[in-house]
Amino acid sequence: MSEERGKIVTRAVQEIADGMYVNLGIGLPTLVANAIPQDLTVMLQSENGLLGIGPYPLEGEEDADLINAGKETVTAVAGAAFFDSAESFAMIRGGHIDLAILGGMEVAENGDLANWMIPDKMVKGMGGAMDLVSGAKRIVVIMEHVNKQGESKVKKACTLPLTGNAVVNRLITDLAVFDFTASGMELVELQPGATVEEVRAKTEAAFVWRSDQLATSDRSGGDSL
């Protein structure tokens, strides 16, 4: 994966604690499975009916019947269980998923998430995204900070159809980590090599940051945006 994606995945793994039940969204989040430390006991759940997803299989060891929600071949860990999608969605809607790590197309400063479609583009549906943002106990979104045109994906308000309103707890990009609280969007960490000035220039949303608490070597600038 690219250096930028590597930063995102590495930081996302830190959100996972031992014993968690975790759902990984399709796309970038699926890469998190290969980065989970071996000393952590984590059960990865997929809405297509698998609890206990392991790392991607080695070349030549793929099983076409063993796939995740993104239709990628995966492995299963010891103790894994298989069931129909109705049972899987019951787990999600019943609040049994501790953490959902989802991809994003846009995130707004109030925690709105748009991640399931672009107008006029062919899509297969929203998958489990809308259920996950309402049923999982914690929602972490991971995505690149800007799109291919260099435009910020961290918006004042989402322009794409919403997956959920004010549902994001934490956003991790290749530049920074943000939390969403009752007081607004807060910059809490910088990715290695990033500065507050760069984040400010590439972020459309308004956010606050506290230079005495920010996890960064860059201590210049004010304390709010």
Tens of pLDDT, residues 49-76? 999 999 999 999 999 999 988 889 999 9
Q: Tell me the CATH number for domain 3-174.
A: 3.40.1080.10
Q: Specify the pLDDT at position 119.
A: 79
Catalytic annotation, pick one of 15, 47, 109, 189: 47
Confidence band for 217, pLDDT divided at 50, 70 and 90:
very low
In the chain, beta strands by DSSP E: 21-24, 43-46, 50-53, 76-82, 99-103, 106-108, 113-114, 139-142, 154-155, 170-172, 176-181, 184-190, 208-209
Measured between alpha carbons, how far is 46 from 167 in angstroms, rounded to an integer?
Answer: 20
15 neighbors 140 (Cβ within 8 angstroms): yes
Confidence band for 219, pLDDT divided at 50, 70 and 90:
very low
pLDDT at 223 over 60: no
What average pLDDT does this structure show over 5-17? Answer: 97
| Average pLDDT value over all residues in the chain | 91
**47 in active site:** yes
> What residue spans define the domains of the chain?
3-174
Q: pTM to 2 decimals? A: 0.91
